[in-house]
Amino acid sequence: MKIEEITRIIERFAPLRYQESYDNAGLIVGRPQDEVHRALLAVDVTEEVMDEAEREGCDMIITHHPIVFHPLKRFNSATYVERCVERAIRRGIALYACHTNLDSTPGGMSWQVGRMLGVENMQVLQPTDPADSRVGFGIVGELPVEMEAGAFLQCIRERLSAPVIRHSDLVRPEVRRVAVCTGAGGSLIGDAARSGVDIYVTADLKYNDFISPVGNLIVADVGHFESEYCAIDLLFDILSKNLITFAVRKSVNSRNPIHYMV
C-alpha cells in the first residue's frame, strides 16, 4: 500500500491544517508514492522503537510526537534524533507524525482521555477555528455523578496508568465538571477556570500553576507521556477501521522517558 493512501486516512480524521504553526506533523521520512506493508504505532520514535520496527518487519512508524521538531543542521549520529532519522532512511522506514492536528481535531486526544475518564457531554475547551467550534484544544464536560475529589484522582491514576499525580489543594470535596487537555496544558488553566470546572486534568504544569488557579479549581498533572499514550489506541482505531488489509501494530517499546521514585 502506498504511504499516501495511509496518510490520507489519518489526515481525513486529523487534517494537517489543524496543526499549530510551530509544529512539524506529517510525513517526515519517506515519499508519498513509496510502498509500505506494515506500520508500527508509538508515542515517539526512539532507538528501541526502531529496533522493534526492524524486528517486526514494519516499514512505517507512525507517532504522535514528530522526531524532527527543530531543523537538523547535520547528520553525524551525535544525537538519537540524527541516529533514528539516518537509520530510517537507510532501512527504508517511513516516519510520520500526527501531533497538534491530532490534539485539536474533533474527537482527538483530549476527547479520548475524556472518554477514558468517563466524562460526558464533552465540548471544546479552547476553540481555535472560527469556522468550526468543534476544533480546538482540550475538552470540558461532566461526570455522570459527583465523585469525591480524592477518589476521582485515584480513578485518573488507574485509568491512565500514572505512577504519580501532582495536584493542587483539594479545594472541592467533590468534583463533577471536568476539563482535560493532553500534553502541556498550563496555558489553558484560565479557560478551565472560566468554564466553571471543578478539576482540570493536564500535564507539564509549573510550580506557580498549582498556586494560582482561579477560584475553587483543582488542577492535576498526570504527566506528559501518561496523558498522550492514548494516541496509540486512537491511531490504531482510525487505521484498523479504514484499512482492513493493512497490518498495524501497537509498539510494546513506546515508553515514558521519565522515571519516578515512589
Please state the residue numbers annotated as binding site for a divalent metal cation.
64-65, 103, 224, 228
Sheet of 174-184, strands arranged across:
120-127, 136-148, 174-184, 199-203, 218-221, 166-167
Which one-letter amino acid corresponds to residue 163? Answer: P
Nearest-angstrom CA–CA distance, 178 and 117: 10
Q: Provide φ and ψ at 159, rounded to 5°.
A: -75, -25
* CA atoms in the 13 A half-sphere facing the CB of 217: 23
Annotated binding site: 64-65, 103, 224, 228
Q: Provide φ and ψ at 194, rounded to 5°.
A: -65, -25
